[in-house]
Amino acid sequence: MSEKLLNYIWFSRLYFEEQQTLLGERVRIISPGIPNTDARPDVFNAKVEINGRQWAGNVEFHVRASDWHRHNHDGKREYDNVILHVVFEADEQIFTQADNPIPTIILNYPKSILANYNTLIQSPHICPIEFNKIDSFHLNQWIDRLLIERLQVKTERISQILRESQNNWEQAFYVTLCRAFGFGVNADTMQQVAQSLPLNIIMHHRDSIEQIEALLLGQAGFLNNIENPDTQTTLWLREYQFLSHKFSLKPTDGVYFKFLRMRPSGFPTMRLAQFAMLLHRHDHLFSKVLNNLNIKSLRQIFTVEASEYWTTHYRPNYIAEHHGCSLSRSSIDLLIINTVVPFLFHYSQVSCDEQLQDNTLDLLRQLKAEQNHKVARFANFPCPDAYTSQALIQLHDNYCLRKDCLRCQIAHQYLKTNKD
């Protein structure tokens, strides 16, 4: 038992109508009031009827009545005005400073709620609820809300990048996309590279893939301390030396790219080479994305293959067996899910464009659900598309892992439906 559960039952009105104080007075709860987050009674503006007389004021929750003393409420004027003390266990009667008994009830509620709550909290599984027994309307409504929550979390970073880009949407998209090419493990360092190399510098040299590669690899520090460079690496070194001097560029300090336990195709050097080709092929990339809001066109935009050098190299000056160097379909879809959609969503909010927002969310419905360990933990939850899988990731990270079941609408339906 916890005050959190008591609070939940009270505000969800999952209690029985008939309540009684420790002194035998009949109680009817007219309005549960408003939660109070200050250091005062838990509820204000509640309305109750005690023995036929209506009262309006503060309500205080405790697991045990004696917690009143443990929480140091004695002698505080604001607690003398409490009209009702609601507890799970009444181990004593509490009195005001004037020695008047404070009306106290042991909250009368369906005991199945506690049993079901314990099932949720104590389950070794991420969620023990059988989702097929939950009304589809409430399921879909909760999925919608979870998805918006997840997008809002992602747009917080995008908003910050946009501010740092002086509200230049193309620059912000370039930085956000470069971060995405880090695919999680190298995201922060990739973002630092992009922020050290303004997009307008790259656009000055967009016609030359060698110069774009030289700028990105040089700023990332991958052209430092190379002994006996091959022909291509020598070209990059020469170009970077010239361009870094021309634009007063300095390589990012203290960045550390991770290579350990990664497939060579996912090395940050390969991702930078693919990103370079994307910038080489497309100018005004955000505008192009904005004007191609369908999966087929977006996939075409992001379908790139690094330059020929990378078919026999994974890192500068280190030769390897011949291999493909295209951005895979699954990687492209992840870029759309995790970068394009959140960025467009933020743009739609800033520009107050509801149609764009609807079209953006529809992109997720056109993509298959991601295959990862978080989504896999909800094996009995129908997950037909990325719209749902993104919502499940939000549910996993912000509710289930924290055992924050009382804020989950699915858990609410489970608890409410299983009343007896």
Q: pLDDT digit string (tens) for 293-306?
A: 999 999 999 999 99
Q: What is the mean pLDDT of residues 46-56?
A: 96
Residue 87: strand, helix, or coil? strand
pLDDT of residue 87: 97
Q: What is the mean pLDDT of residues 377-399?
A: 95
Q: What is the mean pLDDT of residues 33-55?
A: 94
Instruction: Specify the pTM.
Output: 0.89
Percent of the chain with pLDDT over 90: 90
Quick check: 204 and 249 in contact, CB under 8 A?
A: no
Quick check: 54 and 48 in contact, CB under 8 A?
A: yes
Count CB-CB contacts under 10 A for residue 294.
12
Residue 316: strand, helix, or coil? coil
pLDDT tens by residue, 124-154? 989 999 998 898 999 999 999 999 999 999 9
Q: What is the mean pLDDT of residues 78-83?
A: 92
**pLDDT tier at 162 (50, 70, 90 boundaries)?**
very high
**pLDDT tier at 418 (50, 70, 90 boundaries)?**
low
Quick check: 58 and 82 in contact, CB under 8 A?
A: yes
* Two tokens, residue 272: 């930078």
* Two tokens, residue 190: 């990739």
Round the average pLDDT of the chain to a whole number and report it. Answer: 95
Q: 209-220 and 187-196 are packed helices; what angle lies between their axes, rounded to 10 degrees?
A: 120
Long-range pairs for 163-171: beta carbons < 8 A, 24 or more residues apart: 164/195, 169/286, 169/347, 170/199, 170/284, 170/285, 170/286, 170/287, 171/198, 171/199, 171/200
pLDDT of residue 67: 96
Quick check: 47 and 54 in contact, CB under 8 A?
A: yes
**DSSP classification of residue 293:** -
Q: Where are the alpha helices (DSSP H) in 351-385?
A: 354-365, 373-376
Largest CA distance in the chain: 94
pLDDT tens by residue, 203-227? 999 999 999 999 999 999 999 989 9
Residue 45: strand, helix, or coil? strand
Question: For residue 173, what are the CA distances in angstroms to 56, 153, 260?
Answer: 54, 17, 28
**pLDDT tier at 43 (50, 70, 90 boundaries)?**
very high
Q: What is the mean pLDDT of residues 224-241?
A: 95
55, pLDDT greater than 70: yes
pLDDT tens by residue, 251-294? 887 678 999 889 999 999 999 999 999 999 999 999 999 999 99
**pLDDT tier at 163 (50, 70, 90 boundaries)?**
very high
pLDDT of residue 254: 67
DSSP code string of 182-220: TTTTTHHHHHHHHHHS-HHHHHHTTT-HHHHHHHHHHHH
Nearest to 308 by CA among 218, 206, 209, 181: 209
Q: What whole-number distance in Å separates Cα of residue 219 and Cα of residue 204?
A: 16
